Amino acid sequence: MKKVLLASLLALSISNVAFADDIVDSAIADGSLKTLVMALKAADLVDTLKGAGPFTVFAPNDAAFAKLPKAKLDALLKDKAALTKLLTYHIVPGKITATDVQAGKVKSVEGHDLKLDVSEGIKIDNVAVVGGGDIRADNGEIHIIDTVLMQEKESKKKVSKKK
């Protein structure tokens, strides 16, 4: 009887284990998104991404952040407004799985459009490649990308056209 009770309790505790946490916990568990998690904390976006969502995060991995000049990354981490703008440019409201991605534009939480290309895998803004598929979370999806999306390139183009 004790063995049956113990086995039942063990099965119950295993069935209560969440297989997909919220976006932040899923990013932490992945292990390749340490810089992103640190940036989310610095921008006070953790509570938002632990919220109900759903959200889709195009998440630059640690290697993507390592491509940035150290001085630029350090400056971003100290400038909460700029960091928040950069990070919310990587977040889309709603849940978009890799199979749901379609060519076209989606509006980021930051307010600008992200251009999605699905001709050869998934590419964002013609610079970032999605690799590794989906990381499912209770409140959305994470797509790991190989490049930090920098909206300033668009801004520079608009400024140079005005000249």
What's the DSSP call for residue 51? S
pLDDT, tens digit (0-9, with 9 covering 90-100), for 113-156:
999 999 988 999 988 989 866 799 999 999 999 999 987 544 44
Separation of CA 23 from chain center: 8
pLDDT, tens digit (0-9, with 9 covering 90-100), for 12-53:
333 333 445 999 999 999 989 999 999 999 999 999 999 988
Separation of CA 27 from chain center: 8
What is the domain class of 18-149 according to CATH? Answer: mainly beta
**Which of 151-154's residues contact partners 24+ apart within 8 Å by CB, and which partners?**
151/85, 151/86, 151/89, 151/110, 151/112, 154/112
Report field, pTM of the whole predicted structure over 0.75 = yes
pLDDT at 159 over 80: no
> Do 144 and 131 touch, CB atoms closer than 8 A?
yes
pLDDT at 105 over 50: yes
pLDDT at 133: 62
Describe the strand order of the beta sheet including 140-145 as a list of residue ranges: 91-93, 55-60, 140-145, 128-137, 123-124, 113-117, 104-107
Task: Answer with the residue of higher pLDDT: 80 or 12.
Answer: 80
